[in-house]
Structure 1
Amino acid sequence: MQKGSFSLTIPFRIFYLLFLGFGFLCFSQIAGAQAECPVQLSQQRVVVRYGGSVAVNCSTSVSHKGMGWEASEGAVAMTRDSLITWRVSNLTEWEIKPYCYINHKEQCQVELPVIIYKTPDNVSISIVKHRRTMIAGRQYQLQCDVQNVAPVHNLTVKWYKGQTLLNQTTFTEDSKTPVNVNPSVLIRPDRDDDGAQYRCEAELDLGAEGPQYPPNKTSDFLSITVYFKPIINETKLPSVVPVFRGYSEEIVCEAEGNPKPTISWILGTNDIVYNKALTISESTPEYVSCVAENSVGTTTRKVKVFIQVKPIINETKLPSVVPVFRGYSKEIVCEAEGNPKPTISWILGTNDIVYNEVLTISESTPENVSCVAENSAGKTTRQVKVFIQDISISTVNHTEPMIAGKQYDLQCSIKYVAPFKIVDVGWYKQNKNNITETIKTPDILTYTVQIRPDRADNGSQFWCEAKLEAEGTQRTSTMKSANLSITVHFKPIINENKLPSVVPVFRGYSEEIVCEAEGNPKPTISWILGTNDIVYNEVLTISESTPEYVSCVAENSVGTTTRKVNMVLKEDYLPLIAGLIAVIVAFISVIFIFIYSIYYKTAKMGHYSLKDAKPSAQNGDIAQNGKHSPIPMKKFSQSDILA
């Protein structure tokens, strides 16, 4: 198939090229002839209204044998004049082709193009196969009927909506006589086009030789009616409508549509109210629907009826008086119910506002703070008094470090407890091992307690707690003081495990002994040797020259502790024993070597003297001591040896 189509295309292309070449050759000859023809036309092209008049001059500047106009109307006979005029007062021939000719060297001629135009007898616009009522969003066809217009290839039909140009249609038919044309255009109107006016205009564009203003004719206006589905005004009818509890509210449903829609309300399942306005209250169903309906369609808008409730603050969780211990902080919470959900804020002082449900109060908080719960239904405020409670622990008439074993008084000071009363005071101690114990409170309620710290209490922390009870409400509260850390000084205690009371020392050697002591403040360590000899060091080197008794002295600001050590001199027999063992070992070694050498010389085997030995006989006998032995000897074979 492809080869066949290719074979048909090649000849067609060749014919087409030959045709173009031939046409171009003819045109060149004609143009050359006209260019060489010595006449000039006053107009190169004539545009004239049908039935109108026309006059065109033809002149020459050369001598000739005669010239004239050849035309079906207004012909001019050949004359020897140099200027002749083709004139028609009522031009009605559509196909007229006038030309001026001259007899010069030979006859030649120049044709005058003539365009005869005619404006339409009538221009009208209509809707194709439809009445004038349209539905928004659908497509429709408009048609423009143009009667008796010429020439049609110069015609343009323009489409207008109001003064706005929508489209335009042109034509390609090459007809010089009047024709009827019926161009059309598609439109899709919307609700804004209701009442719009459409028109079409037929205009002849005749070029520069035509009239200054192109001749045209316009149809009458076509006014259309557009029906469209109802559109509910959502601005005037929000999707959520608030109403205060105990009150009523009126809501209005407005809708635009063509035809004019009817309005109704659907409440619940089947309850319908035919009215634009609807009165709602807390008894109204949660959801109601506005229904707008006309012949085109139905539109529904759902509305939520939102019952608003003024905030109610939970007073159980937020008492009117809130105590806070001095030096500490505390969180208080404001909770509120309401519809819509309220926002919570705290007012502190004049302008300080905190937007949070939780407020942290301390001794720096103003005495009066207010919780504000607010929503669109209203505002609720609850005032709270911040009551600063103070409790502290201290020693009584004592500021210096405590001495272990002595007695001291601790005091618990409690201030500003109203409206509470004190029902109990407890005392506590936590030692450096994080063990907490309760100190028994005296039978008679008092705010002081006696302690007798020991060395294990150094660094311990004491505090007191007061149990409070509000009058009339039976509400209790507990106040805790800050911790009191005590320092306990105690007399040095020498570590007797590391420093025994009797220490042996070998003659000729030295030994180190260590004196360690615990105490607060840290004790100084010294050694007393003899009467006045003192060594300030924890470590003491002793030898046979050291006095028989030395003393370790541990001393601090609380007291002095002494430990006496007895130096016992001992002889060191270890070198003597080692020397004796060495002598014995050496003696035994000498005896062993002596015995071994004797045994080796007298009892050795496998060694013989070959002095004066004779060659052995060939008979295989064994020679002894260089003499021939008559004793026959048997020679053993290998098998005998193995056997």
Structure 2
Amino acid sequence: MFCCCIFLAVSLLHSLCHFHVSGYDPSCTEFPVFTPSALVVKYGDPANVTCVVCQKDCSGDASGLEHAMGKVTQNGTTMFWTVDRLTEWDIFVMCYYNTDAGDHCSSTVNITIYQPPESVSISFVNHTGMMFENQLYTLQCSVQNVAPVQSLTVTFYRGNTALGHLQSNSEQKKPVNETFTLNITPSREDDGAQYWCETKLELGPAGPQRPPVVTSEKLPAIVHWWFTDSSCTEFPVFTPSALIVKYGDPANATCDACQKDCSGDGFGLEHAVGKVTGHGTTMFWTVDRLTKWDTYLICYYNTDAGDQCSSTVNITIYQPPESVSISFVNHTGMMFEEQQYTLQCSVQNVAPVQNLTVTFYRGNTALGHLQSNSEEKKPVNETFTLNTNSSREDDGAQYWCEAKLELGPAGPQRPPVVTSEKLPAIVHYGPELIGPPNPDVITVTEGDTLHLNCSFVGNPSPSYTWTVPVNSSLSDNGGILTIKSIGFEHEGQYICTVSNTVGTVTKEFNIDVQASPLIWIIAGVSAAVLFVIILCVLCCRFYKQNRKGSYNLKDVLRFPKHTALPLQNCENV
């Protein structure tokens, strides 16, 4: 009976050594590979791309290449997509295969279709003809029929000097018409200069080596300044040369009307508010509270020839925002991963708004800087928007915005800054595995304790469901399943299903149970004891038959068939 038990144990161990369970992972072990990895194609040009579907995890004909236009040829697991004229703006090419487990593994190639501008023109907004020194004007660059407009950079020039670079916030992929504006304040040195703008489609490393560039015509500038009579040998000088004053604060300026060309009392200082005192040709202007937005100062003198020579001082009156707030456009509550949302920063009662820079933040990371195109000098309310794509890393982050009045060297040394409240982000995302993936087969020894770790993170927190082999007794604590004193009945596949409101994933464990080494020790000792007993019995029988004389060990093992010895004599051995 004991020998039968040993035989069964050895047979079971032999069968386990030759039993194989294939590992299964719901995630794809590889993905189709496109060559090139990205396509940048001019509208109407031919295009082609190659896809290697898979290297090792392919199964039969369960693969393909989905496309909106063009044709596909195939050689094994390699597919070739070609199109003679790419004229579909919403184009896609997706390569995929299905695993033996039924998972769908796919890749898409990023395709950018571009079209250089048909035309580019420059002009002034609401202005024609001559300009005046120290007055604000707005240049506009009109771009016709360009795509994708988000890859377009517009640069304004005065002669060969770049004045500013602008980009569009539009996400439209099809051709659009777009207008870009830039504020300028001409000086007398700008008289006769030429304004123009340049558009450049910057399409990255996969695009043309020479980005498509289209320029506008040249727009000549005719700048008039006050009393430009050639008989003026000098002009009044203001100190300071520019004034930047907070609304309601006091202000003052000094004007030296002339040094050598003055004639009698023919000089003065014209002003909208405040009072003027004088000492010779030097005049002092003061105001206790500057509350007039359209204020001005003109200092002048008259020459002997009757010409009037004058200068003006540039006065900027500013008011920091009364309040700054942040919110989402048409959205409240939780967000979802990989969805696009629009942040808006509302700035109340600020002037001059064209000097305002609004910066959006996520935590301490700046997301973007925006400025207004408004030319209004009086306080206004302005709203700035920025698109953002949420990810699981953003969960718990705080969005906020900062409004800064940048008033230049003559302004406050510390520019006025007002920040919004913090807007917490709650991002929901599907379960994600914590730690490394498990091996294909987990081998344990009979009698040991096994812990299967199926811990995932997700928002909201995921729930766990275990599918176990029949007749398995176990205890689970959410993502960790424990089997105490594991036996052969616990062999098989354990499936952990993890789900929340965003998605569901599964993780599989394949368990192989080996016999305990203690069984082999007991079996070895038992076999040795049995051998000793058998040897003793054989020796006893031989002695009873040959009570005297010598004998060979070979004779003991021959099992003689003749007369047996009396039992009572064997008892005396």
Sort the TM-score into its range (normalised by shorter chain): 0.3 to 0.5
The structure whose RCO (Cα within 8 Å, separation 6+) is larger is 2
* Larger of the two Rg values belongs to structure: 1
Q: TM-score, normalised by structure 1?
A: 0.43
